[in-house]
């Protein structure tokens, strides 16, 4: 076992513990809240900009960023607190134990995805220090392909590529 493997196991254990503390319900709600908040912020950006424009006359170039951030935070926080409320109810039932165990599993998967994403980005940036340490590791080959494969799979399930050209158009119109 290489040092890389030991570090990865420790980080995954921390992710599992964090997931155990949050539970599956809150892990899923947080993930869904993030996705819904991003999509809502993109979808409501134009309307939000129209609403905030009178208040931001001095900083029109910041309008889309402030609007996006406000919509994102409002939606995310609202969904998150709803999830916390549901989690507090679930903890009083027998399902609370299963929720925590499943949360640990999801926490490990989420942490593995973050590590994999970091490996993928450093590799794309031609920063080979991580791959150098992971050459003899048993975890490195698995982690190196986890994020790219997951993103490729999810792109078939959740097609959201049309959002980015729409956002680019809004931002270009704002600069003019």
In DSSP notation, 30-56 reads: HHHHHHHHHHHHHHTHHHHHHHHGGG-
Contact 131, 140 (CB under 8 A): yes
pLDDT of residue 142: 92
pLDDT of residue 81: 95
CA geometry: angle at 157 spanning 156 and 158, to 5°? 100
Q: Is residue 95 part of a domain?
A: no
* Residue 21 domain flag: yes
- Give residue 112's pLDDT: 93
What does pTM read for this prediction? 0.65
Number of domains into which the chain is organized:
1
The pLDDT, as a whole number, for residue 155 is 65
List, in order, residues 6 or more apart from 43 with CB less than 8 Å away.
Answer: none
Local mean pLDDT, 10-residue blocks, the chain (176 residues): 90 95 89 85 90 89 91 95 91 87 92 90 77 82 88 67 58 56
Asked whether residue 176 is assigned to any structural domain, the reply reads: no
Q: Is residue 111 part of a domain?
A: yes
Q: How far is CA 110 from the centre of its chain?
A: 9
Range of the domain at 86: 3-90+100-171
Reading the block at residue 7, the tokens are: 């570090």
């Amino acid at each position: 076992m290489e040092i890389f493997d030991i570090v990865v196991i420790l980080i995954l254990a921390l992710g599992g513990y964090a997931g155990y503390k949050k539970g599956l319900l809150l892990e899923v709600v947080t993930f869904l809240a993030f996705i819904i908040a991003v999509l809502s912020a993109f979808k409501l950006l134009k309307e939000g900009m129209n609403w905030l424009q009178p208040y931001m006359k001095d900083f029109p170039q910041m309008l889309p960023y402030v609007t996006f951030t406000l919509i994102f935070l409002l939606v995310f926080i609202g969904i998150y607190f709803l999830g916390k409320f549901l989690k507090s109810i679930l903890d009083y039932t027998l399902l609370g134990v299963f929720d925590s165990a499943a949360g640990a599993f999801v926490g490990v998967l989420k942490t593995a995805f973050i590590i994999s994403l970091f490996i993928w980005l450093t590799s794309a940036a031609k920063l080979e220090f991580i791959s150098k340490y992971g050459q003899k590791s048993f975890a490195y080959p698995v982690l190196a392909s986890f994020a790219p494969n997951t993103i490729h799979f999810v792109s078939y399930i959740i097609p959201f590529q049309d959002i980015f050209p729409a956002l680019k158009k809004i931002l270009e119109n704002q600069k003019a």
